[in-house]
Structure 1
Amino acid sequence: MKNKYQKAVQDLLAPAGIKINGNQNWDIRVKNENFYKRILKDGSVGLGESYMEGWWDCKQLDEFIYRLFNADLEKKIRKNFKLKGLILKSRLFNMQSLKKSKKSISHHYDIGNELYKEMLDPLMIYSCGYWQKTNRLSQAQENKLELICRKLKLKPGERVLDIGCGWGGFAYYAAKNYEVEVVGITISEKQKKLAMERCRDLPVEIRLQDYREIDEKFDKIVSVGMLEHVGHKNYRPFMEIVKKNLKDDGLCLLHFIGGNETKYNTDPWINKYIFPEGLIPSIMQIGKALEGTLLLEDWHNFGLYYDKTLMAWYENFREAWPKLKASYNRMFFKMWEFYLCSSAASFRAKRLNLWQLVLTKREFPDMYHSVRPKNLV
């Protein structure tokens, strides 16, 4: 006989078309009966951790989570007072109901370059690709880099600041193909080392430096996948720093994940295991940060391309696991799998977006013409 917790979870999943121990690829197979009470009590942390610990499984994890998101279960729970009482006022995927203090893990970007080399494209671009007329991850990432360079209207000899340069993929591409000088800054030792190796023969300088320490002028400024780590209290200071370091006739491009709603905390499982202290900015937060600092010239959203990018990373990760497993345990595999699939599902359900903003100072002398290349290949 089903206990009340199992029935509650079953009823919760039904509108999403998900069955417990059903036959569809997105149905979940429960292996530990404590699963039901745990996810009702602990929300997304309980869902993710119980997956990591092997309490449940699913043939197509990304589709399962997509269906959870697409059914908008959080709102349904909010209206169901009986269920709210049963789950002790915890809500699935709602960080407000969980304790703020959570154990952190090692820094996301310093868990091993080999993992990222296997998972990403040859340039190791750890952000959304631009999948125009291609099904290859490497081409999608080159498309994205080319799109950024064209939006910035790079010219030979210009000096470019790359805030949060990662493993140097953009710096390499821009310096090689557009003959610009690039200063890339990162706060990751391992990223800096690899970026320096990659850009050794190019006019590229890689620094171990925080963006708040920059005080010099640049023709162009770019930041790819960095604003998610800045935090809501620092959005405006970030824009002010860009303004201070950008020449009057310069251009800035920001490429980052954006949310549909204003929040001040991230999902608790993501915060605990993947991106401690990360935060997805909203339109309102970015708009307030721009007031009185920079002018918005162009706003481009291609969030659905992130779903495809994350699933490409997921396939690469699974294929490379036989080589990687000597350095990571099985729980790490399950954790990383849950991270990639749940992230893909978020974009597929349009809970998250991928935004590219082009910004200028008020002194910018010309009209900016938006760039939407029909063919980047």
Structure 2
Amino acid sequence: MTSDTRIAPVALPDTRARRIVEQLLEGSTVSINGDNPWDIRVLHPDFFSRVLHQGTLGLGESYMEGWWECERIDELAYRLLRHGLGARSRTASHRLMYRLQAGFFNLQSRARAYIVGEAHYDLGNDLFQRMLDPTMCYSCGYWKEAETLHAAQVAKLDLAARKLKIEPGMKVLDIGCGWGSFAEHAARHYGAQVTGITISREQAAFARERCAGLPVEILLEDYRELSGHFDRVVSIGMFEHVGHRNYRTYFDTVANLLDEHGYFVLHTIGSNTSDISADPWINKYIFPNGILPSAVHIARASEGHLLMEDWQNFGADYDRTLMAWLANFDAHWHEIAANYNEKTRRMFRYYLSMCAGSFRARDLQLWQIVYSRKRSGRYDAPR
């Protein structure tokens, strides 16, 4: 089941708001009520004024409420971003409000660290099991030689493990372990003793069950609560929740936990700019208090703590990963539909599709960065 129900669009009044939206779309190849799969079919006459006043928040909420349809939202997002509408899609009030909040408050403080876990990751393991592959990786797969989502996720886990140069018996810390995918992989295939931490109760319970019988410990903890000493540290898809006010603390924590001969692999989505901002719809409905780091943010925060050994970008692979998740979500939604509502279905379809289009347009990146504790010798990064 997809969102393309081919409901006939409504008769649209010739309003100023409609004319402005159509002018903004000129040259993007996106039309209102057109026949292309990426065209917007408007089902509510107030759609135009809502989008103009609320920007991306209004666009996302109006889709969740059934005000418009689009067969290929991923292609819609790609075309809008390539047309340059991304920078103009957030209202001035939303940008100002986020900057004020981020400037005066630590939105990712220790007290607020568990908000995203409760709002998103605890939504339901049944949903994520249908959307993801059997590894339960909720981060970008590595499609260099893979043909399936599962193969891409296994390749991603193994790429990180090889970059860490894990040897049997090593103590490995997984910051933001999710449903235990890397912890299980490192313990089962590399003989590591893994400690994984997450801020999601649902993830922790699932990870403990899947890693039963392996030398794996799963803790419900914030990274700032950690103590101990580890040969290797990995963090896959968690840094997006750290926040710019905490970047130095994060790298200081990793450096203090990591052995002097150890390696650290950071796997994170990255922003092309260093603006302190967040998409209002994503911030409200998907990842509360999340913010994407730029290359400058990461370099400045890690300087003086760790030595950067390698930086790999495979952001284009996230497009393919997200589209695979969307296909899984659509194919299996009927199995869990009774546990959720139609608004949740539309929310996830919109989220996955818009993000796929963003990576396709190269508006977002995916970085895997290797650090050491300023050890001597040569580091050769696997690929």
Provide the TM-score with structure 2 as the length reference: 0.90
* Alpha-carbon distance between aligned partners in 1 of 2:92 and 2:357, rounded to the nearest angstrom: 13
Over the aligned positions, Cα root-mean-square deviation in angstroms equals 1.7
- Cα 1:301–1:127, aligned 2, differ >3 Å: closer, same or farther? same
Aligned-residue offset at 1:15: 1.7
* Alpha-carbon distance between aligned partners in 2 of 1:13 and 1:366, rounded to the nearest angstrom: 54
Letter in structure 2 aligned against 1:222: V
Q: 1:9 aligns with which of 17, 21, 24?
A: 21
Report what 1:109 is aligned to: 121
Aligned residue for 1:270, secondary structure, equals helix
Report what 1:25 is aligned to: 37
Deviations 1:121-148 (A, max 9, x none): 1010000000122221110000001111
- Cα 1:92–1:17, aligned 2, differ >3 Å: closer, same or farther? farther
Residues 74 and 93, structure 1, Cα contact 8 Å, conserved in 2: no
Report what 1:207 is aligned to: 219
Q: 1:52 aligns with which of 64, 71, 91?
A: 64
Letter in structure 2 aligned against 1:229: H
* Alpha-carbon distance between aligned partners in 2 of 1:136 and 1:32, rounded to the nearest angstrom: 39
Residues 184 and 206, structure 1, Cα contact 8 Å, conserved in 2: yes
Range with bigger deviation, 175-184 or 126-135: 126-135
Report what 1:96 is aligned to: 95
Query: Is the counterpart of residue 292 in structure 1 residue 304 in structure 2?
Result: yes
Q: 2:166 aligns with which of 147, 154, 179?
A: 154
Aligned residue for 1:326, secondary structure, equals helix
Aligned-residue offset at 1:92: 6.0
Give the fraction of aligned pairs with identical amino acids, expressed as a percent.
49
Report what 2:132 is aligned to: 120
Report what 2:382 is aligned to: 371
- Cα 1:93–1:159, aligned 2, differ >3 Å: closer, same or farther? farther
- Cα 1:142–1:53, aligned 2, differ >3 Å: closer, same or farther? same
The count of aligned residue pairs is 356
- Cα 1:185–1:43, aligned 2, differ >3 Å: closer, same or farther? same
Q: 2:182 aligns with which of 143, 147, 170?
A: 170
Report what 1:186 is aligned to: 198
Residues 249 and 361, structure 1, Cα contact 8 Å, conserved in 2: yes
Residues 90 and 279, structure 2, Cα contact 8 Å, conserved in 1: no
* Alpha-carbon distance between aligned partners in 2 of 1:34 and 1:336, rounded to the nearest angstrom: 23
Aligned residue for 1:62, secondary structure, equals helix
* Alpha-carbon distance between aligned partners in 1 of 2:180 and 2:93, rounded to the nearest angstrom: 35
Deviations 1:110-129 (A, max 9, x none): 00001111111101000000
* Alpha-carbon distance between aligned partners in 2 of 1:37 and 1:141, rounded to the nearest angstrom: 42
Deviations 1:288-344 (A, max 9, x none): 101211110000000000000000000000111101110110011111111000111
Deviations 1:26-58 (A, max 9, x none): 111001110000000000000000001111101
Deviations 1:345-368 (A, max 9, x none): 111010100000000112x13221
* Alpha-carbon distance between aligned partners in 2 of 1:256 and 1:94, rounded to the nearest angstrom: 28
Provide the TM-score with structure 1 as the length reference: 0.91
* Alpha-carbon distance between aligned partners in 1 of 2:188 and 2:85, rounded to the nearest angstrom: 48
Aligned residue for 2:269, secondary structure, equals strand
Aligned residue for 2:26, secondary structure, equals helix
Report what 2:84 is aligned to: 72
Report what 1:326 is aligned to: 338
* Alpha-carbon distance between aligned partners in 1 of 2:93 and 2:255, rounded to the nearest angstrom: 35
Query: Is the counterpart of residue 143 in structure 1 residue 159 in structure 2?
Result: no
Query: Is the counterpart of residue 273 in structure 1 residue 290 in structure 2?
Result: no
Aligned residue for 2:27, secondary structure, equals helix
Q: 2:239 aligns with which of 227, 233, 242?
A: 227
Aligned-residue offset at 1:91: 4.3
Residues 91 and 97, structure 1, Cα contact 8 Å, conserved in 2: no
Deviations 1:259-304 (A, max 9, x none): 0001222100000000000000001111110121111000000000
Residues 128 and 354, structure 1, Cα contact 8 Å, conserved in 2: yes
Unaligned runs of 5+ in 1: 78-89, 373-377
